[in-house]
């Protein structure tokens, strides 16, 4: 609860603040509870081969899958309804739900994901309306390409709040890729190109979290919240 007010007829006796009553015996006080609005959260996971980077056993897509699992767990624990859409060679989805059973369904779908094929724009034309209810907050987990801007524009035009959680492919390549293939000039140019793309995304009213995957997601998002 977040405060105390005078007792009103109809208030449950369980709500009475008996400690305050003890200090003011001629007056009753009720605890006032804050009503939290639980959101519908839609997780969209980019499973396209064209946005994935892989060096040996290290895969950028694996970080995206782990992020989706972590976010699903976090939001479901907070009491929100969560849905999942995985788009790539094969579209997979879990309709909105809450509780441990919903988390198990989402994790089961994520466990069978591979990065392959398809285009994001085509996928969005066939999203079931039951998957993302109106006013949902959609969290898109994707390194993103410039041609994906049309899809983000479409999501915003449908009235969704959109957050882009973008695993940083430039940082990942610099960390995991062969040193001989990445000159300082190439890295600098890639960073500038990516910064320009994310600037365009922000102009659509999309919140962007540029995630260097060598940092734990929870700590990085907490840092972004403080900005």
Q: How far apart are CA 222 and CA 220, in angstroms?
A: 5
Exposed e or buried b per residue across 164-176, where buried means at least 16 C-beta atoms within 10 angstroms of its C-beta: bbbbbbbbbbbeb
- For the chain, state the CA radius of gyration: 22
Asked if residue 179 has pLDDT above 70, the reply is no
Closest CA to 112 of 45, 157, 178: 45
Q: Please write the tens of the pLDDT for every residue from 127-176.
A: 667 899 888 899 999 999 888 898 899 899 888 999 999 998 888 877 76
Q: Where in the chain is the domain with CATH 3.40.50.410?
A: 40-225
Q: Which residue has the higher pLDDT, 132 or 49?
A: 132
Write down the pLDDT at residue 188.
Answer: 85
Q: DSSP strand E in 70-186: where?
A: 81-88, 92-97, 137-141, 161-167
Return the residue matching tokens 């929100």. 80
Q: Enumerate the H helices of 58-98 as residue ranges.
A: 60-77
User: What pLDDT shows up at residue 15?
Assistant: 40
Looking at 16-20, 31-35, 112-116, 220-224, which range is the least confident one? 31-35
Tokens found for residue 145: 């390409």
- Beta carbons within 8 Å of 104's beta carbon, 6+ residues apart: none
Q: What is the pLDDT of residue 216?
A: 83
Distances, alpha carbon 150 to alpha carbons 30, 41, 50, 166, in Å = 52, 21, 17, 17
Encoding tokens for residue 128? 């079931």
Q: Is the pLDDT of residue 24 over 90?
A: no
Contact 214, 175 (CB under 8 A): yes
Name the phi and psi angles at 166, rounded to 5. -110, 100
How much is the mean pLDDT over the chain?
Answer: 78
Answer yes or no: is pLDDT of 68 > 80.
yes
Which distant-in-sequence residues (6+ apart) come within 8 Å of 25 by Cβ? none
Cα-based distances in Å from 76 to 36, 98, 135, 177: 14, 6, 17, 35
Taking each helix axis as running N to C, give the angle between helix 184-203 and helix 169-176, from 0 to 180 degrees, rounded to the nearest 10: 160
Q: What is the pLDDT confidence band of residue 222, given thresholds at 50, 70 and 90?
A: low
- Tell me the pTM: 0.76
- What is 40-225's CATH superfamily? von Willebrand factor, type A domain (3.40.50.410)
């Amino acid at each position: 609860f977040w405060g105390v007010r005078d007792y009103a007829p109809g208030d449950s006796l369980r709500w009475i603040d008996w400690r305050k009553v003890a200090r003011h015996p001629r007056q009753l006080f009720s605890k006032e509870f804050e009503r939290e609005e639980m959101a519908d959260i839609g997780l969209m996971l980019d499973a396209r081969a064209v946005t994935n980077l892989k060096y040996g056993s290290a895969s950028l897509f694996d970080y995206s899958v782990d992020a989706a699992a972590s976010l699903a767990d976090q939001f479901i624990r907070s009491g929100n309804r969560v849905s999942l859409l995985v788009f790539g060679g094969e579209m997979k989805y879990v309709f909105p739900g809450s509780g441990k059973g919903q988390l198990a369904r989402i994790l089961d779908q994520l466990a069978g994901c591979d990065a392959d094929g398809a285009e994001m724009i085509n996928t969005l034309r066939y999203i079931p309306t039951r998957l993302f209810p109106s006013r949902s907050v959609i969290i898109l987990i994707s390194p993103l390409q410039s041609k994906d801007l049309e899809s983000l524009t479409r999501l915003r035009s449908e009235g969704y709040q959109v957050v882009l959680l973008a695993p940083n492919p430039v940082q990942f390549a610099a960390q995991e890729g062969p040193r001989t293939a990445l000159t300082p000039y190439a890295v600098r140019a890639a960073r500038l190109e990516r910064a320009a793309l994310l600037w365009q995304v922000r102009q659509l009213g999309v919140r962007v979290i540029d995630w260097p995957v060598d940092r734990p997601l929870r700590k990085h998002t907490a840092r972004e919240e403080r900005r």
